[in-house]
Amino acid sequence: MAYEKTYVMLKPGVLQRRLTGVILQRLEQKGLTLAALKTMIIPREVAEEHYAEHSQRPFFQDLVNYTISGPVVAMVVCGEDAIARARALAGPTRIEEAPPGTIRGDFAAVTRKNVIHTSDCPESARREIALFFSPGEILEYEDPNADWIC
């Protein structure tokens, strides 16, 4: 296991549907730790940079338009194997493949509005965290309960 930080984003609609609390609860219940959290409306150019790897896909403009269509909850989440753990909790990107019990499987109906984004590898996590947070916004703190979780 490796201690990691990952970028997690609750997409537009989550705040309006009052789902933030139940989704954060799933991350925390699995032992992940919140190191930074903020609401924001993402500027278009930042959304385009965030999803740059999809820029040649037919759904790119729709994806960017949706991403900037309302406030998101952006966060840095950390812990042992945080990247894989957050992705397992989120479930598969394609909604038809997301089983009940995963965040997408329980709260999303279409792939484009699949409720949550999580970084897919350490390099993406570093890039995405740096895109949305300055170092001073990310808090590292002692957790006396950590031994009960990891």
133 is in an annotated binding site: no
Under the binding rule (CB under 6 A), the answer on residue 52 touching ligand CMP is no
- Is 117 marked active-site? yes
- What is the number of helices (H) and of strands (E) in the chain? 7, 4
- Under 8 Å CB-to-CB from 84, ≥6 apart: which residues? none
State which residue, 37 or 66, has the beta carbon closest to ligand CMP.
66
Contact call for residues 97 and 17 (beta carbons, < 8 A) = no
Looking at 18-26, 75-83, 111-119, 121-129, which segment touches ligand CMP (CB under 6 A)? 111-119
Task: Write the DSSP symbol of residue 6.
Answer: E
Give yes or no for residue 112 binding ligand CMP (CB under 6 A): yes
Q: Which of 12, 32, 117, 129 is catalytic?
A: 117
Beta strands per DSSP E along 81-125: 116-118
**What positions carry a catalytic annotation?**
117
Which residues are part of a known binding site?
Answer: 11, 59, 87, 93, 104, 114
